[in-house]
Structures are given as C-alpha cells and as structure tokens.
Structure 1
Amino acid sequence: MLQIDRWKRIVIFGICALGFLFAAPNLFYSRVEARNDAAVAIERAGGASTPEEQAALAGWPRWLPRGLVSLGLDLRGGAHLLGEVHTDEVYKSRMDSLWPELRRVLTEQRATIGGIRRVPAPDGILRVEVENAAQIQAAVAAARTLANPVASLTGAGQTDLAITAQGNVLTVQLSDAEKRLTDDRTIQQSLEIVRRRVDEVGTREPTITRQGENRIVIQVPGIGSAEELKALIGTTAKLTFNPVIGTGVDPAARPGPGNMIAPDAENPNFFYMLEETPVVTGEQLTDAMPGTDQNGAPSVDFRFNPQGARAFGSYTAANVGQPFAIVLDGQVISAPVIRQAITGGSGQISGSMNYDEANRLAVLLRAGALPAQMTFLEERTIGPELGRDSIEAGRLGAIVGTVGVIAYVIASYGLFGVFASVALVVNVVMILAVMSLMGATLTMPGIAGIVLTVGMAVDANVIIFERIREELRAGKRVASAISNGFSEAMSAIIDANVTTFIAGMVMFFLGSGPVKGFAVTLTIGLATSVFTAIFLTRLLIVIWLERRRPKELIL
C-alpha cells in the first residue's frame, strides 16, 4: 500500500500542476477576460481589429490557458427575468394556417356537402358551417384527411386534430396529445430563440432555463438593467407579409372571420384591413442585415429561404398592382403596391428608424420570431456594486472557513494535519481549474458548495487518520499502521462520497437556479477531494516516511 511507483508519483504531481496551471487565469481575471472579449470581437469582425483590441490580446500570453470561472448574476450583477410563454397563441396560428387547406378539401366535396362558410369561434378552434347538414359526416371524413399521427411516444395511435360535428357545423381543433407536444415544442423553440438573441449582442454566460410547464428564467450577468434585457427579447419580432383588403378602415369595424385590423406603425390613427393568413412569415427568413434605402435612410435588408422565395414570388406575380402589407408585431411597417413580380427572394424594410433601431431589428429578425408572446412575471436588476459586495462576502467566508478547518486539523493531527491542509488547498485549486475548463458559472450558492467540499475533504482525512490511530494503539508498526489506515478507510470514504454525489446529481438535474449552482461545485469538489485525500495525502506521507523513517508516530 505504501509502495508508490515513480510513474504514479509523476502522474499525481502532474495532475496537481495542471490544476494550478488552469486555475491561474482566475488570479488575473480582468486581464484574461479583456483578452477573451477582444478575441471574440475580432472574430465577429472577420479579422479586423482596433488598437485597443490588439493591446488586450497582448495582455495575456497565447500559450497560457485562458479559461475562466464565469461569475453568476449574484456575483457580477445583471438582469433577471421570469417570462411566461402564451402557448394558446400557437393553437390559433395552427388553425388559421389550416383553414386554406381545409377550405380546399371541403370545396372538392361541394357536390355532396354544398357550400361552406367559416364562422366565428374562440381562438384555437376552427368552425365551418356546411350547407347540407345531412352530409356533415362526409365533411368530417374530408377534414380527417388533413390529420397526421402525433409524433411522440405518449401520443402513439392518436392524430394531431380533434374533429367533431354538431348539426351542420364542423369543429376542428388540436387534439390533447398534440397540444402537449406543441406546448413542449413551443417552449423549447422559445428557449433557443431567446438564447440566440442574447448571444447576438455578445453577453457573457447567460443562464436561460425552463421553469415549470410554460415559463422561462433568463439571467444575463453584466447587462445594464432588466429593461434593457426586455427591450432585446421582450418583443416577438414577428414579421409577416399579408394581403391588403382595405385601407383607412374604422378600427371598431368587425373584420370578419380570417381577417384582421392592424394600425400603421408611423401613423397609429390609420388602420388597414388584412387577411390574417400571411403569404410568408419571418420564420422563412434566412438573413437580415442593417443597411440603407435609396434615400440613404436606415433600413433592414432581408432574404427568404427557397420555400419563402417561391411563395413570395408566386403571390407578387399573381397580384401585380395590388398592395400588400409588411407587418411587424401587429403593426404595418409598409404597404407598397406590387409593381412587378419579386422573384429574387429578397426585400427591404425601411421607415422611421435610426441606425441603432435598424441594427436591433436586424438582430431580432435574424434570431427568428418567438413562436408565441411572452409576458414577464418577475424582473430584477442587480447592480455591479452588489455583485462586488457578494464576491467579497463569499471570498471572506471561504477564507475564514478554510483557515478554520486547517487550524483545527493541524491542531488535532500535527504534521499529518499539515499534509491534509496541503491537500485541501490543492483541492480548492483543482475545483477552480475544472470549472474553468468546463466554463461553469460560479454563484453564491456555488461558493457555499466549495466551503462544504472543504469540510468533506477533511472528513476523508479524519477517517484515515483516526483509523491509523486505532492501528497504532493496537501495537502496529508505523508503516503497517499507515498502510492499514488507508486501506481500511477506503470503503467508508468511497461510500460517503458516492451517496453525496448521487444527491448532488439529483439537485443538478431536478433543481434550478441557486440549487444548480450549489450542485455544480459540490459534485466537482467530491471528485477532486477523493483524489487529493486518497492519492495526494498518501503520497506526501509516503515521501515523509521514506526520508525520516520514524520508529514511533504520535498522532
């Protein structure tokens, strides 16, 4: 047990040295962070750089690691939002987009069912009145040809549409299984779009997670305020191209089924009547960039994917001389008259906007449209001063806790306590090194996890040292007592750490926010503490035994 091969010693000390190397950038946090920010900015600029960025790059050697432990919202300051996604809007959109297809298949059965007419219905429900009530089942059969199997294990054997008939009215809505799948898909899509929007403006280490069934937690360290974050992600940036039915209409007028009234973006007192089903949508955009129009005013140039380009080209070719509306978030940005077919798949949005607004609109369109509206139930702004206070408080707590543990273990076990203290310091350094490599985020609960890990790491050494004491009291020689102490204590240490590791993983996967921050440092600390307590402490004791060869040991 006390014979450690040279290659094993090299591996143990090598791992410790790597830990110090990868944790070292955190001692020069501002310099390394400036270097990393400059590298990202240069990459986004296609290789172009400013003198300040070059100076920041030169501030940290290229051959040294540059990974940092990211500081969480409570340590750095920033904005926190809790948003609720209105998934009901997706049901309505699905039914509105289904209406043209349903009208087509029912029209094909006109000889049997007679004429059809869409009638008003609650959002998310499509109702169609059939002229020949006696043939309503024929209409149901035709509508069911549009249904598809639900693409999930829980919805196996079900279709995505629930189709019923009462009297001469056909009712179509999403089935319960499809609603569950749509809700999950909507939240996942919203998560991804919010993440892309936040990433577009270069914020550091945002935390964007799902909470409950239809809520999203958004935490962005380093951003100025919650209002600034809401301005970035609070709008749906939903772009559609809709046929125009009438202009200058009364906003109190009833648009009728399948139509809607939208105000002009520049003149809120002027209203358009539009077809609710768009020709193309922002989801078919492939790119959006800020630019200038023919008058030199700020604008946004956009381009459709092949499907959107075909639909846009076909519509403009069939409606030359007719107006169409470019609608952004329910407001008509522009309503030009189609002069000729637009088959290139590209276009331009211009109007009363400055360059910053054009750039922000391009970011939102490029990131994609949120599938449903999001309202914010909770918002908090944490100032950088409070973050610095949290860092100082956490640092002080960690130092006091570590020093207290070290003082106790040295007072209790003397020289062996010194060996345990060295392993303890190496353990903390290795936690920071692993977190730097992973790009993990450190929060106040994370600091608490590190402090707890310090105590647990000493527990492993205490178990070993107490076992050695028992062996010495039993009359064993020094080398034999130490060997037996390590071997006998091994199973207890492994069992304790495995059970705690399981609890940490449960907290990580089922918890959120502060709980996850605590679980991250706890689970990393468990792995590093097992290494330092069992391998590093044993190696230090073996080296001491080889040099001193003591006949007695007072522990």
Structure 2
Amino acid sequence: MLYFSKLRIITIFLLSLVFILIASSNLFNFDNKFLNKKINLGLDLQGGSYLLLEIDNTPVIEQKLQNLTTTIRNYFKEKNIRIKNLKLLDQQIIFSVDDDFKQTILDEFNNQESDLNPYYPRFKKHQLDIIEKDNIFYVSFSDQGIVKLKTSSQDQALEIVRRRIDEIGTNEPNILKRGNDRILVELPGLDDPMRIKSLLGKTANLTFRFVTNNQEDSFGTEKLKYADTSEEATVSKRIILSGDNLLDAQPRMNSETNETVVSFTLDRVGAKRFGKATSTGIGKQLAIVLDGKIISAPVIRDTIASGSGQISGGFTFQSATDLALLLRSGALPAPMNIIEERTVGPDLGQDSINAGMIALAIGFVLVIIFIFTKYKIFGLITNVTLIINLFLLIGILTIFEATLTLPGIAGIILTVGMAVDANVLIFERIKEELKNEKNNLIAFDSGYTKSRTAILDANITTLLAAIILFFMGSGPIKGFSLTLGIGIFTTLFSVYFIARLLTVLYVSKNKEKEGLI
C-alpha cells in the first residue's frame, strides 16, 4: 500500500543523511574517525607500479629430491639393502640394485605405510613416479606432485611478499595469485618501484656457517663470494643457524665503531645452537651468508649465549633497514623473477579520473534531462532519487575504504542506468493502471506492486552475473562487479523506499488531480 509510517519515514531520512555525510568525507575532512574514511584510488586512477613475479620452483624441486636422496640412502642402509650409483640428475633420483633386492625395493615404494620418506605422506601415490628399468630405478615427482609443490610454494611466497610490502607501508597494495607459479603486485601511488623490486627479488635465505680450510669437512664445503668484494672463502655446508630461528631484526648504529649494523634476536632453539657453536668455535670465522653470498665473516672472540647479535657489512642505514625487513619477513621458498613491470604515472591516472568523471557527468545529465522531460514532477523525483542513490553507493564504498578503479566507475555509471530503468518500468506500469482505475492512490500502488516482479528479475540476474565476475574475475573485473553489485542493492532501496516515499507524499496531496503522469 502507498503508506509510510512516521517511524519508516524518519528511518529513511536518517539513513540517507548518514550516507550523504559519509560520502561527503571524500571531499571534506571531518574530526570524527567514522566520518574520516575515504575511498582509495586504484592503480589506473592514482598511478603506481605493476609487477608480475614468476616463482622459479627448480631449486625447490631439487631440494626436495635431495632430501629424498639422503633418506633413501639411509633407509636402505638400515634395511641392509644395497643400492649403487645413487645420484640426482635432471630432477630425477637414479640408483641401481642387484636382482635380489629389486622386488623388495618395489614393495617398499609401493607400501603406503612405509616410513621411507618423511615427505612421502604428503606425496602419496600419483605424486611420486617410480619407474624401474633393467634394475635401475628412476624416482621423480609426478605432474600432480609438481602442481602441489608449486601451489605450496606460491602460497608461502604470497604471504612473504605481503609481509615485505606491508612493512614498507605501501597504501592499499593489491597482491594476487596468477596461475600456480606467478604473483601479481599492484602498488597504487608508488611511481619509483626500484626499492620494491630489490626487496621482492631477494630470496633472503640467511644461514650462519663456519669458514673452514679443511676440504675434507664431513658435511662438505663450498666456495662463496663476499657480497661487497670479489674475494672468496671456503665455508662448511653445515648450517649452524638459519633465518627460521630469527625472532626480530632491526637496523642499529654501533656506538663503538659508529657503523650501521643489523641487530638480531634468536628464538630459544636458535639461542641454544648459537651459544653452543660460539663456545666450541672460539677463534674461528663464522660466515653470515645471505642468498649465497657472504655478508661478513667475523672471528668468534667469546661465547654468545644471550641469543642476540649483530650483522655488520658496510651498510648504509637504508640497506640495513631493508636487510632487517627481509629477515623479519622470512625467506622466500624459491627465487622470484620479475617478468613484467609497468609504471602508471599520476598524470595518466588523473586523465583516467577526468575521463571517467566526464563520462559519468554526461551520462547523468542526459538521463536527468530525459527523465524530467518525459515524466515531469515524477522525473524530478527520479532525479533526486538518482543523486541519493549515488551517495548511498559511494557511502558504502567509503565505509569499507574500497579501492576505486576505472572499471569501478563504469559499474557506477551502469548503476545509474539500472536505477532509471526501474523507475521507467514503474511509471509506465502506473500509466497502464490509470487507464482502468480512476483512483490515483490505487493506480500508483498497483503500478509499484505489479512492476516489482520484472524489476526484481532484472536486478537478481544482474546480481548473479556480478557475483560470478567477482569470484572468477581478476582485479579490474572485480572492481566493476563490486560497484555493480552494491549498486543493485542501493538501487532497489532508493526505488522502493526513497522514490516511493517522495511519490506517496506528492500523490497524497494531489490524489484528486487528473493526468498526474
């Protein structure tokens, strides 16, 4: 019925006023925290940097297989099963056996309860390919196993990339998966991506190892270069500590040497290992290795049992800050390469804003003129409703501090069109009702009631499409679907509450007047 209680009228008025105030916070600054929120501008509007990173999973696959190689050797040694020529080649573990042991080994690999490999429960059948030919075994990850390993690496890398970017304080970064080995990073407002590229391009794999001259070290040795010189040092492959044992890392100024250093704090396990290593290694050099290069190799003068220490290496304060950030955020599971990068300047972003706003203004003005010409006073009501509808939509986006993109502006423009469409359906239906009904109140009420099904059908199907686009689409498509989806709800509210209320107020005062519409 064309009736609104005083409570409903007050509620509609207050709700509209609140959203108008919230939307206005994008133009004015308020002291109130709730009213001081703003819509963030996306990369295409604000300008910024776009980076597409690709994860190199080759070292991860080789590391997993290397661990499995060691496990196979030790496991079959304990079982008194002789295997020969065990090696890792082209991402395959290869070894040969005598005829007497072939079936036993096949049984071990095919036994799902076997403790052959500590990783094996995660890569059960269909994830490890085991091929035997002429008493030679070939063990490798299956296609499914590779996909799972890549997905796991991507999830870890995504979290660490997010930590590193959040530490810098970039406003509203957009970090998304692409496939199973790529990560998309959008950084609005950042027009100099060099520091970000440097931080994201480093694996930040930190280890502490002893420098040794003993080539027959039981753990093996390797030659590594210093980060700041071309000199080399031979270090043991035995890892005393890794970055996993770090609790915190911060840049500091050493008061004694007036040198910028990175101070670190270890967890309980790391402190115990560090204390033991420094107590038994007094006089030795302890190499601090980051991503395969020696940062520094200080001589141990005394036992360090406090679980804290310093990394020196001729750092500037900026480089020390970045190193501390990398260590705090953790090591990437695999190296990442930047395969695509784009920088959108603020001038281009402003051009996009201007183009979008001009399109919105032109479309809005044309709609207002058409509706007013066609429906007179009810066209004016529709136009007022359209303006309030825009405030409702912008107010909701402001509450959630959403990121507005150019496709998002397109969604707002489409919302204006859908709001007009709903009003046109209602008014045309009212015209038909007035042909058979002389009572204006009944005709208007019937017009709203009988057009409801068509309006709901149109908006619900559009909403379903918006939901699918949001969950299946990428960043720009998500922005379009988000504003469109919210716009559908604000349109229905504005049509059936605000426009209907204003229509009721007018028709009630002119219920005897002929030719209202």
TM-score by length of 2: 0.89
Matched, 1:426 2:394: no
Matched, 1:146 2:117: yes
Separation in 1, partners of 2:413, 2:262: 52
Query: More displaced, 96-105 or 434-443?
Result: 96-105
**Which of 338, 348, 364 is matched with 2:326 structurally?**
364
Query: More displaced, 419-428 or 178-187?
Result: 178-187
Matched, 1:288 2:265: no
Matched, 1:465 2:436: no
Q: Which amino acid aligns with 2:308?
A: S
- Cα pair 1:162 1:175 within 8 Å, conserved: yes
Separation in 2, partners of 1:128, 1:342: 44
- How far has the Cα of 1:462 moved from its partner? 0.6
Separation in 1, partners of 2:382, 2:399: 25
- How far has the Cα of 1:394 moved from its partner? 1.3
Q: Which amino acid aligns with 2:35?
A: P
Q: How does 1:230-245 map to 2 (within 5 A)?
A: 230-245=197-212
Query: More displaced, 342-351 or 374-383?
Result: 342-351
Q: Who is 1:37 aligned against? A: none
Change (3 A) 1:240 1:456: same
Q: Which amino acid aligns with 2:288?
A: I
Change (3 A) 1:99 1:322: farther
Q: Who is 1:520 aligned against? A: 482
Matched, 1:79 2:49: yes
- How far has the Cα of 1:499 moved from its partner? 0.5
Change (3 A) 1:236 1:23: same
Aligned residues: 510
Q: Which amino acid aligns with 1:146?
A: N
Q: Which amino acid aligns with 1:420?
A: T
Deviations 1:306-331 (A, max 9, x none): 34344444555555554442111221
Separation in 2, partners of 1:320, 1:328: 22
Change (3 A) 1:320 1:213: same
Separation in 1, partners of 2:74, 2:281: 20
- Cα pair 1:189 1:371 within 8 Å, conserved: yes
Separation in 2, partners of 1:266, 1:139: 49
- Cα pair 2:71 2:116 within 8 Å, conserved: no
Q: Who is 2:400 aligned against? A: 438
Change (3 A) 1:406 1:25: same
- Cα pair 1:84 1:376 within 8 Å, conserved: yes
Q: Who is 2:16 aligned against? A: 16
Change (3 A) 1:170 1:272: farther
TM-score by length of 1: 0.84
Change (3 A) 1:529 1:115: closer
- How far has the Cα of 1:229 moved from its partner? 2.7
- How far has the Cα of 1:481 moved from its partner? 1.0
**Which of 157, 161, 164 is matched with 1:190 structurally?**
157
- How far has the Cα of 1:200 moved from its partner? 1.0
- Cα pair 1:85 1:374 within 8 Å, conserved: yes
- Cα pair 2:72 2:116 within 8 Å, conserved: no
SS in 2 for 1:395: helix
Q: Which amino acid aligns with 1:209?
A: L
Matched, 1:66 2:27: no
Matched, 1:271 2:232: yes
- Cα pair 2:441 2:508 within 8 Å, conserved: no
Q: Which amino acid aligns with 1:466?
A: E
Q: Who is 2:181 aligned against? A: 214
What CA RMSD, in Å, does the superposition of the two structures yield over aligned residues? 3.0
Change (3 A) 1:181 1:243: farther
Deviations 1:202-232 (A, max 9, x none): 1111111111221111110111223343123
Change (3 A) 1:260 1:175: farther
Separation in 2, partners of 1:170, 1:338: 46
Matched, 1:200 2:167: yes
Matched, 1:306 2:276: no
Query: More displaced, 94-103 or 191-200?
Result: 94-103
Deviations 1:242-276 (A, max 9, x none): 354549x9xxxxx99975442111212x2234455
Separation in 2, partners of 1:502, 1:274: 61
Separation in 2, partners of 1:390, 1:128: 62
Q: Which amino acid aligns with 2:38?
A: L
Deviations 1:129-152 (A, max 9, x none): 77x77446666749852245655x
Q: Who is 1:407 aligned against? A: 369
Unaligned runs of 5+ in 1: 33-59, 250-254
**Which of 99, 116, 119 is matched with 2:87 structurally?**
119
Separation in 2, partners of 1:377, 1:494: 46
Q: Which amino acid aligns with 1:85?
A: I
- How far has the Cα of 1:475 moved from its partner? 3.5
Deviations 1:276-334 (A, max 9, x none): 56343223322111113452211111223334344444555555554442111221112
Q: Which amino acid aligns with 2:246?
A: L
Separation in 2, partners of 1:305, 1:159: 38
Change (3 A) 1:24 1:113: same
Separation in 2, partners of 1:172, 1:272: 35
Q: Sequence identity of aligned pairs in percent?
A: 38
Unaligned runs of 5+ in 2: none
- Cα pair 2:466 2:481 within 8 Å, conserved: yes
Change (3 A) 1:296 1:510: same
Q: Who is 1:55 aligned against? A: none
Separation in 2, partners of 1:175, 1:532: 56
Change (3 A) 1:356 1:228: closer
Query: More displaced, 313-322 or 84-93?
Result: 313-322
SS in 2 for 1:213: coil
Q: Which amino acid aligns with 1:358?
A: A
SS in 2 for 1:235: coil
* Greater relative contact order, per chain length (Cα 8 Å cut-off, separation 6+): 2
- How far has the Cα of 1:192 moved from its partner? 1.5
SS in 1 for 2:183: strand
Deviations 1:485-544 (A, max 9, x none): 000011111111111011111111111121111111111111111110111110111111
- How far has the Cα of 1:427 moved from its partner? 0.8
- How far has the Cα of 1:380 moved from its partner? 0.8
Separation in 2, partners of 1:360, 1:70: 27
Q: Which amino acid aligns with 1:451?
A: I
Q: Who is 1:57 aligned against? A: none
